[in-house]
Amino acid sequence: MAKKTRSASARGKLSRMKGKVFEREVARDLRAIYGEQVKRGWQAREGTDAPDVENVPYWVECKHHQRVNVRAAVAQARADVKKSKRELPILVVVKDNGESPLAVLDWGVFVALLEELEVQRNESTLLKSGALPQGLEERERAAQARERVLHPLMVVPAEGGAPVQLREVEVFVPAQPPSEG
């Protein structure tokens, strides 16, 4: 029996459908983190009208192919965000057929996320160890003994673009103990 082949038009339609389904999956996962406003972006054939997922602090580009060319996907995301004149770091989510999705970030964005996670982990460890008070009254007394500093989490795009502030990270600096003299 002869192998049935699809026309180029039918293959293109199936490929676009596979891409839409993957974009919806990525949007669903990001919605669990960023809230109900997250949605799949509206796409024109050129793909530069909007990111694949909107209302998150990244320009999201999704690719699902037999074998994704990751560097080409990153280059497309960088070019699209530049054309849009929006200052967002890129997040490229790629999936080869039959494989798990991978997320690709610029190195500076990745390092900033790790730094933020480390601050949160350290604070959580201090809370569990009792080094940071847990009760409201204790927190208020402790707040008087330290200075509260808000540091913006800044991400500098790799290609020399303007820094992007993702959000402020709260850092507590202990008050200086009285000097013994």
pLDDT at res. 3: 62
d(CA 34, CA 45): 27
Residues 97 and 112 reside in one and the same domain: no
d(CA 98, CA 48): 28
Cα separation, 35 vs 50, in Å, equals 19
Quick one: 111 and 157 in the same domain? yes
Q: What is the pLDDT of residue 6?
A: 73
CATH assignment at residue 92: 3.40.1350
For the chain, the domain total comes to 2
Residue 170 lies in a domain: yes
Reduce the DSSP state of residue 171 to 3 states and report it.
strand
126 and 101 within one domain: no
Is 181 part of any domain? no
Q: pLDDT by residue (tens digit) across 76-124?
A: 999 999 999 899 999 999 999 999 999 999 999 999 999 988 888 887 7
Nearest-angstrom CA–CA distance, 109 and 89: 7
Q: What is the pLDDT of residues 21-32, one digit of tens each?
A: 999 999 999 999
User: What pTM does this model have?
Assistant: 0.64
Q: Is residue 2 part of a domain?
A: no
Ranges of beta strands (E only) in the chain are 39-40, 53-54, 59-65, 90-96, 102-105, 146-155, 164-174
Rounded Cα gap, residues 146 and 125, in angstroms: 18
User: 1 lies in a domain?
Assistant: no
Q: Could you read off the pLDDT of 22-64 as tens digits, one per residue?
A: 999 999 999 999 999 999 988 655 555 689 999 999 999 999 9
Residue 152 has pLDDT above 70, yes or no: no
